[in-house]
Amino acid sequence: MFSFLKVAIFTLGMFALSSARDPYAKRVGKWFDALSTMYTGDIGAAGVKLNNYPVYRVNVGNRFDRRTLFPVALHSKDVQAYKYKILEIRNGNKRIFGHVVDECAAGDCDENYRKAKKRGAKLVDVHKTAWKPLGLRDFTIHDLRARVVGYVPSKRGSGAMDSVLTSDGRKGYIPSKWKV
């Protein structure tokens, strides 16, 4: 009994210590359900070349530093709240880090957005560059889990992000809702 109590106190102490070491632990969002479709495209709304992804070893500014980012899109109704955020997206035991640099505003987006809303989920479109790492094989709707883990604006001088900017994106010629 006494040794069990020692182990429990030690474990709680280590948990508190590890949380104290990571100042960003509280900044990581809660997991949410994501209804995902897959899309192809060349240029994202944020002025990025989608096919130049993934971007390797991006510094997010917390324990998720040096991750590989893939482009994802959210429905135009959610894009203001999520633009440039980094989402950790899980499909079973597969995981990617999605960079919100595009919006879903055409085709079947509205229909899929309504389906997601009925399920209490967010619509997250996964670009073709992330299909294989996430274990997606077709254009059907997929049930995933996601959470916000960081923020990286796509603008000139953002380090690794420079490699995906279009010439217009480098000059800041992007829709006003995507300006930082």
Structure tokens at 76: 């135009």
Sign of CA dihedral 65, 24, 35, 175: negative
Domain ranges of the chain: 28-178
Question: Which alpha helices (DSSP H) does 41-106 contain, by range?
Answer: 79-82
How far CA 128 is from CA of 29, 35, 74, 164, in Å, comes to: 25, 16, 15, 15
Structure tokens at 137: 């094989």
List beta partners, residue 39.
Answer: 127
Phi, psi of 121, rounded to the nearest 5 degrees? -115, 170
How much is the pTM?
A: 0.78
Structure tokens at 124: 């997250």
Which CATH class for the 28-178 domain?
A: mainly beta
pLDDT string in tens for the chain (180-residue length):
545 444 344 333 433 333 334 343 446 889 999 999 888 889 888 888 898 888 888 777 677 778 888 999 999 889 889 988 999 999 999 999 999 999 987 778 899 999 999 999 999 999 999 999 999 888 788 999 999 998 887 655 555 666 677 777 666 666 666 665
